[in-house]
Amino acid sequence: MDLHGYFRSSASYRVRIGLNLKGLQYDYCPVNLLKGEQRGNDYRKLNPQGLVPALVDGDTILTQSLAILEWLDETHPEPALLPAEPLARARARALVYNVACDIQPVQNLRVLKYLQGEYGISDEQKIGWIRHWIHEGFCALEQQLNPAPFATGEQPGLFECCLLPQIYSAERFGMDIAEYPAIHRIALACGEIPAFIEARPENQPDSTL
């Protein structure tokens, strides 16, 4: 498998964690978002949206990080990223969507560029915008997370694949994760697991380019 992504992209980071948790081998193909490589003709053949990631497995091309992660869970079911019981799966997905659908999209690169280009917001206002939406989402998650080591029990899963990249982003913009005790507990637990360590942005080959 080839994973086309960017080291600091939350969506790419999610898929790296999922692949690592599954113990799947893949080749990492950097796409430099700051240089606009995602908008090039060659890359748009993989992902017409011009977004990362894109996962290529033989003749199969998959986009959208959550779709990729659920496909991985269905085609490589062990270890599972989602609980087996339907209600538990729905509750896990609700936590996942809080991060992947409500927090992260409003702070991704193209949204921030639009805010600065069209409305002239300052860097300080941009950081305030990012912190606001992360804080709103994290406060809601704090009320929903159980006291187990991870969101759905004793092992990390789909939620942790999404949460750790969001934590990375929050810390990058100066937020103190210790203010969110349940999230902080999960972050510390994941920080001891090789699958999460290897997926971190600073451990990707394009982080130094």
Residues 186 and 129 grouped into a single domain: yes
Is 107 found in the same domain as 41? no
What is the average per-residue pLDDT within 74-85? 96
Within a domain: residue 167?
yes
Domain stop point among 79, 106, 135: 79
3-state class (DSSP) for residue 28: strand
128 — pLDDT class (breaks 50, 70, 90): very high
- At 207, list the tokens: 């982080």
Same domain, 98 and 51: no
Q: Could you report how far apart the first and last alpha carbons of the chain are, in Å?
A: 23
Residue 17 is assigned to a structural domain of this protein: yes
DSSP codes joined into one string, 79-144: S-SS-SSHHHHHHHHHHHHIIIIIIGGGGSHHHHHHHHHHH---HHHHHHHHHHHHHHHHHHHHTT
Output the pLDDT for position 49. 95
Judge if 192 and 97 occupy the same domain: yes
Residue 163 CA to residue 87 CA, distance in Å, equals: 21
Q: Are residues 100 and 192 in the same domain?
A: yes
Q: In terms of residue numbers, what domain contains 108?
A: 86-196
| Counted domains in the chain | 2
pLDDT in tens, 168-191: 999 999 999 999 999 999 999 999
Select the more confidently predicted residue: 148 or 169.
169
Contact, 158 vs 73, CB < 8 A? yes
Q: Looking at the structure, do residues 66 and 167 belong to the same domain, yes or no? A: no
Residues 94 and 191 both lie in one domain: yes
Q: What is the pLDDT of residue 209?
A: 73
Could you tell me whether strands 2-5 and 27-30 are parallel, antiparallel, or unpaired per DSSP bridges?
A: parallel
Q: Which pTM does this prediction carry? A: 0.95
The predicted structure's pLDDT at residue 148: 84
Q: What is the pLDDT of residues 27-60, one digit of tens each?
A: 999 999 999 999 999 999 999 999 999 999 999 9
- pLDDT grade for 22, boundaries at 50, 70 and 90: very high
pLDDT of residue 182: 96
Mean pLDDT of the chain: 96
Residue 204 falls inside a structural domain: no
The answer, yes or no, to whether residue 153 has pLDDT greater than 90, is: no
Overall average pLDDT of the 70-98 stretch: 97
Percent of the chain whose pLDDT exceeds 90:
95
| 152's tokens | 């759905």
**Alpha-carbon gap, residue 6 to 65, rounded angstroms:** 13
The last residue of a domain, from among 53, 79, 105:
79
- The pLDDT score that the predictor gives to residue 74 is 97
Sign of the torsion angle spanned by Cα atoms 77, 82, 84, 86: negative
Q: Considering the domain boundaries, does residue 178 fall inside one?
A: yes
